[in-house]
């Protein structure tokens, strides 16, 4: 082999290593850009949601109306008055509703016309910010298909450290356990959950578990217990 051939032969491994390094660098740049694009899409989605909520808030009053009641439930009004709930009563923002043991209630969240089902020993409060806050227990949330010419809205729900926005067509459940663990599961549509600066999309037929330390497990398929909760009390 000539000197020139031996020189080319010796340079081949170096060239191959250099090419691999270039490809790895290009792949890292591509993955970084993909991550940035995903973050931008989530940011745009949250901006659209905020704008829609602001428009709705400027045009209509927010309230909770009692559609169905099995057993007993108690209301705590903004002026701190507490009393039993009656079907067809309507309460303003700032009101909290709590179901008793072995009781169930279905509320209409106006002006969204969304249905909120409260499991036994569940408390929700319609915040002055127009978000629905789950204080304890479990709820199922969703908006029925609207009449022609009307549309559904994203639904903002909060529970402990978790901020949730359901897509307009979403049917989802939020549970707050005694140890402050939060469970979010989705039957239809999707939800965007914000936890400690992180934003996670939970798609249809998936769930997440958020520990009190903000550790997120999932999204993952519904567990048997969560599926049982939907079969027993969901608003499908």
164: domain CATH number is: 2.60.120.1440
Say yes or no: 109 and 54 in one domain. Answer: no
| pTM over cut 0.85 | no
From 44, 59, 74, the end of a domain falls on: 59
Q: What would the pLDDT profile of 36-95 be if each residue is shown by its tens digit? A: 455 445 445 555 554 444 444 444 689 999 999 999 999 999 998 999 999 999 999 999
Say yes or no: 53 and 118 in one domain. Answer: no
**How many structural domains is the chain composed of?**
2
Residue 139 belongs to what domain range?
A: 62-233
Q: What would the pLDDT profile of 202-226 be if each residue is shown by its tens digit? A: 999 999 999 999 999 999 999 999 9
According to the model, what pLDDT value does residue 204 have? 97
According to the model, what pLDDT value does residue 232 have? 82
Distances (CA, A) of 220 to 154, 183, 204, 205, 206: 23, 12, 10, 8, 5
Say yes or no: 74 and 49 in one domain. Answer: no
Say yes or no: 66 and 55 in one domain. Answer: no
Closest CA to 188 of 203, 208, 207: 203
Say yes or no: 7 and 69 in one domain. Answer: no
Say yes or no: 122 and 107 in one domain. Answer: yes
Q: Which residue has the higher pLDDT, 176 or 129?
A: 176
According to the model, what pLDDT value does residue 136 have? 97
According to the model, what pLDDT value does residue 21 have? 54
Distances (CA, A) of 221 to 36, 144, 184, 187, 202: 27, 24, 12, 11, 10
């Amino acid at each position: 082999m000539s000197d020139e051939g031996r020189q080319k032969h010796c340079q081949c491994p170096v060239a191959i290593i250099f090419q691999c390094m270039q490809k790895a660098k290009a792949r890292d740049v591509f993955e970084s850009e993909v991550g940035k694009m995903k973050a931008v899409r989530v940011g745009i989605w949250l901006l659209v949601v905020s704008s829609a909520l602001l428009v709705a808030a400027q045009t209509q009053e927010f309230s909770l109306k009692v559609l169905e009641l099995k057993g007993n439930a108690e209301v705590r009004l903004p002026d701190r008055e507490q009393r039993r709930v009656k079907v067809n009563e309507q309460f303003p923002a700032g009101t909290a509703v709590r179901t008793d043991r072995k009781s169930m209630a279905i509320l209409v969240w106006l002006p969204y016309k969304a249905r909120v089902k409260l499991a036994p020993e569940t408390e929700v409060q319609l915040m002055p910010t127009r978000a629905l806050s789950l204080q304890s227990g479990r709820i199922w949330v969703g908006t029925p298909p609207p009449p022609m010419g009307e549309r559904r809205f994203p639904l903002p729900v909060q529970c402990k450290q978790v901020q949730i926005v359901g897509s307009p067509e979403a049917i989802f459940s939020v549970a707050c356990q005694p140890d402050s663990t939060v469970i979010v599961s989705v039957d239809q549509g999707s939800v965007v959950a914000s936890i400690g600066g992180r934003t996670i999309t939970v798609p249809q037929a998936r769930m997440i578990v958020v520990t009190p330390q903000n550790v997120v497990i999932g999204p993952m398929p519904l567990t048997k217990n969560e599926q049982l909760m939907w079969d027993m009390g969901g608003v499908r």
